[in-house]
């Protein structure tokens, strides 16, 4: 691989918690990758810190605005997602459940469907060779509790975008992680599955850093192409940390 040309990889949602990790990992592997980022605002760009050269600012709801970020990219890792916010005033001591809402313009239909569709279209128009899309486990169940948060139907819209990518003709990898943990990566055995089977087990969460790593590894193996996988991890110390990503992708046969 030493003689292979470096891949220009665009990370969208690069200021998010998983996006920042993916962008940083690509920067650290500068002999293999030329990283780019796409963020929504100057404020988001500042979150990435001093490493924020090669960051484009555009709103994914604006199909024309995002196009320049995709020009000349070999691969794209889509890590954009709407994020529900908790309504103020919730007091856990009084029982009941917190209520959630989405900010204007940040509803799942706008971000996880229209925004991701725009990105897939932009990637196709720019001749991008491989798109890695990070979705979420739970999408097979329309009644999943995440869909009721803020009446956003977030998993429904994510699933629609995943299907759009699978039907687009672009080489793709769809990764659907379980619950995201803010823990160190590289210390756990990773587990793959399909159709939300992992939600019936005890292994249904994964560190964000491991999700970011799998995204980058997916760009390097034929075995990851045209595949969709659910992704989780065993508890730290509960298995052998995954190092052979080719073997991990070989376990997957499902295209969606």
Residues with a catalytic annotation lie at 136
Of 141, 144, 181, 158, nearest to 228 by C-alpha is 158
Helical segments of the chain, H only: 17-28, 42-48, 63-70, 108, 116-125, 145-148, 154-166, 208-218, 245-250
For the chain, the helix, strand and coil percentages under 3-state DSSP, each to the nearest 5: 35, 20, 45
**CB within 8 A of 124, min separation 6: which ones?**
168, 169, 170
100 by DSSP, 3-state: which? strand
C-alpha span between 243 and 189 (Å, rounded): 9
């Amino acid at each position: 691989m030493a003689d292979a040309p470096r891949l220009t990889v665009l990370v969208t949602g690069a200021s998010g918690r998983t996006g920042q990790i993916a962008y940083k990992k690509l920067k650290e592997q500068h002999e293999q990758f030329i990283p780019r980022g796409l963020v929504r605002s100057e404020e988001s760009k500042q979150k990435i810190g001093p490493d924020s050269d090669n960051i484009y600012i555009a709103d994914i709801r604006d199909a024309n605005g995002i196009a320049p970020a995709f020009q000349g990219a070999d691969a794209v890792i889509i890590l954009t997602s709407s994020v529900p916010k908790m309504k103020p005033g919730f007091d856990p001591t009084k029982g009941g459940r917190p209520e959630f809402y989405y900010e204007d313009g940040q509803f799942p239909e706008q971000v996880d469907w229209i925004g991701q569709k725009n990105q897939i279209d932009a990637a196709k128009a720019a001749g991008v060779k491989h798109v890695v899309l990070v979705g979420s486990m739970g999408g097979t169940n329309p009644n999943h509790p995440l869909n009721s948060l803020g009446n956003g139907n977030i998993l429904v819209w994510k699933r629609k975008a995943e299907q759009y990518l699978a039907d687009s003709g672009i080489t793709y990898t769809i990764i659907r992680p379980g619950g995201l943990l803010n823990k160190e990566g590289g210390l756990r055995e990773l587990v793959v599955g399909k159709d939300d089977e992992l939600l019936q087990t005890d292994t249904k969460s994964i560190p964000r850093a491991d999700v970011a790593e799998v995204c980058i590894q997916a760009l390097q193996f034929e075995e990851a192409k045209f595949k969709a996988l659910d992704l989780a991890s065993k508890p730290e110390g509960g298995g052998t940390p995954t190092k052979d990503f080719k073997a991990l992708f070989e376990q997957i046969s499902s295209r969606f």
